[in-house]
Structure 1
Amino acid sequence: MAVLDELLRALTSGRISVIDLTAPLTSDVPVLRLPEPFANTIGFSLEEISRFDDRGPAWYWNNIHTGEHTGTHFDAPVHWITGRDGLDVASVPPRQMIGPAAVLDCSAQVADDPDFLLETEHIREWESAHGPLPEGGWLLMRTGWDARSGDQAEFLNADDSGSHTPGISPDCARWLAEESALIGIGVETVGTDAGLAPTFEPAFPCHSLLLGAGKYGLTQLQNLALLPPTGVVLIAAPLPIVNGSGSPTRVLALIEQD
């Protein structure tokens, strides 16, 4: 128990801070919009069952209505056709819900170009300064896009040519899927792929390549600006939805204070 006792003392004393990376789940949370003829997810809503009234005098509760991929959420391999024989969200090993994370800051590039794509060379530059990506961990791509999360139109940033949001290039996605020791990637945008990813080869490379390799995705993260490049422990615990392709998820980061 010595290790756990020390962890609890560090949390209680504030030597370890807990940073919430989760977008509040309300009816205003932005959701992905696919063009016709594709079907779309519903957003999030509450349906009141009772609230200290004749329907239930001493209790308040709701039904919730939401899609699996609404708000801050977890993509399981089975979400994509390339991972159709892979894990559903209920089958993700609990040990993989806690792990190290690297934070790569691309916010300056994205401020100049909303279609910015992360390339392998950007990761190599990060590694030269901070060391290798964490084995069995996550790469979190900070873009500053969470500042737009209060407005659906600004968050999706779409025009006649498509959605213009940052992401990861096909070559980099392939490297992350096939050569890195990561278990997944996390982004601040509505999905793990860039807005123009339908035009890439392969289309939606993060979904196609990483989920096809049995890795995971986290989307619509917030507060990555509060995290250091290294020294982050990520906790991502989706609901164990049997046969589920994903789940809204509370994502927390532990960081050590100086």
Structure 2
Amino acid sequence: MTLLAQLAEAVAAGTVEVLDLTAPLSSETPILNLPAPFSNTVPFELREISRYDERGPAWYWNDIVTGEHVGTHFDAPVHWITGRDGEDVSRVAPRRLVAPAVVLDASDRAAQDPDHLLQIDDVREWEAEHGPLPDGGWLLYRTGWDARSGDQAAFLNADETGPHSPGISVDCAKWLAEQTPLIGVGVETVGTDAGAAHGFDPPFPCHSFLLGAGKYGLTQLRNLDRLPTRGAVLIAAPLPIVGGSGSPARVLALVEREG
């Protein structure tokens, strides 16, 4: 039996589970809100074309209106000025969209401090316990923030000083981008950076360093609590938008289960 036949059989039998890490996409999906004078994306919207009626008696379909960075989405290098000469989302090689993934769980710390930042020592401690970061793989940073995803205000968690959500420190973002074999970082928050990252030096360091290094970001993931610490295979499927800085994506994980 070929490897692919074995995989298909394992999926059918349930010994390889397919987990959906994608948040539902609707007009209620939380979106990033940048302060003036910056421009913002539009929310997701369905615009009905016909629904089994005089506009089309046997079919139902819609136009969709959305931004590239709405809901669970993929950040391509060209999204940030540091990666302006890099790949747009249509140029990302398909083989790079299927990769191993590991989960670093900081949900207990984020529950105590919504501004919690992942540090280099946190990742090194994780590696000491669980082994090295995967070559060409994803680091999925679990904070428990997906529990807030049904409420825009709770998800952005903003006050008069700005949004408050967990993220990654400047030094750690630079280190992950430049000193690790990762292909990218995935998070449960509205973007790969912390809510307060507009005030960091540089601002939005995950975007600046990771995308500048030709790596990728995945945001607004869910169900990371159902993944093993290591051993999952991630499938990230953005639309191949020519010239696109990113795309809403369906993100799936293959997880081996006991037979």
Could you tell me the TM-score, scaled by structure 1's length? 0.99
Amino acid in structure 1 at the alignment position of 2:11: L
* 1:31 and 2:31 aligned: yes
Provide the rounded CA distance (Å) in 2 between the counterparts of 1:121 and 1:217.
Answer: 21
Q: After TM superposition, give the deviation of residue 39 of structure 1 in Å.
A: 0.2
Q: Spell out, residue by residue over 1:52-88, the C-alpha distance to the aligned partner (whole angstroms, 9 max, x if none).
A: 0000000000000000000000000000000000000
Q: Spell out, residue by residue over 1:194-214, the C-alpha distance to the aligned partner (whole angstroms, 9 max, x if none).
A: 000011111100000000000
Q: After TM superposition, give the deviation of residue 189 of structure 1 in Å.
A: 0.2
* 1:56 and 2:74 aligned: no
The secondary structure found in structure 2 opposite 1:5 is helix
Q: Any unmatched runs of 5+ in structure 1?
A: none
Q: Any unmatched runs of 5+ in structure 2?
A: none
Q: Spell out, residue by residue over 1:14-36, the C-alpha distance to the aligned partner (whole angstroms, 9 max, x if none).
A: 10001100000000000000000
How many equivalent pairs are there? 258
Provide the rounded CA distance (Å) in 2 between the counterparts of 1:203 and 1:172.
Answer: 14
Match of 1:159 in 2: 159
Q: After TM superposition, give the deviation of residue 229 of structure 1 in Å.
A: 0.4
Note the 1:1-258 alignment, pairs <5 A. Answer: 2-258=2-258
Provide the rounded CA distance (Å) in 2 between the counterparts of 1:111 and 1:195.
Answer: 15
Amino acid in structure 2 at the alignment position of 1:93: A
Amino acid in structure 1 at the alignment position of 2:233: V
Amino acid in structure 2 at the alignment position of 1:188: E
Provide the rounded CA distance (Å) in 1 between the counterparts of 2:12 and 2:125.
Answer: 36
Q: After TM superposition, give the deviation of residue 89 of structure 1 in Å.
A: 0.2
Amino acid in structure 2 at the alignment position of 1:107: S
Provide the rounded CA distance (Å) in 2 between the counterparts of 1:126 and 1:6.
Answer: 32
Q: After TM superposition, give the deviation of residue 241 of structure 1 in Å.
A: 0.1
Amino acid in structure 2 at the alignment position of 1:155: F
Q: After TM superposition, give the deviation of residue 97 of structure 1 in Å.
A: 0.3
Q: After TM superposition, give the deviation of residue 254 of structure 1 in Å.
A: 0.5
The secondary structure found in structure 2 opposite 1:31 is coil
User: What fraction of aligned residue pairs are identical, expressed as a percent?
Assistant: 69
Provide the rounded CA distance (Å) in 2 between the counterparts of 1:49 and 1:225.
Answer: 38
Provide the rounded CA distance (Å) in 2 between the counterparts of 1:216 and 1:65.
Answer: 24
Provide the rounded CA distance (Å) in 2 between the counterparts of 1:246 and 1:219.
Answer: 11
Provide the rounded CA distance (Å) in 1 between the counterparts of 2:43 and 2:253.
Answer: 26
Amino acid in structure 1 at the alignment position of 2:254: L
Q: CA RMSD in A?
A: 0.6
Q: After TM superposition, give the deviation of residue 172 of structure 1 in Å.
A: 0.2
The secondary structure found in structure 2 opposite 1:217 is strand
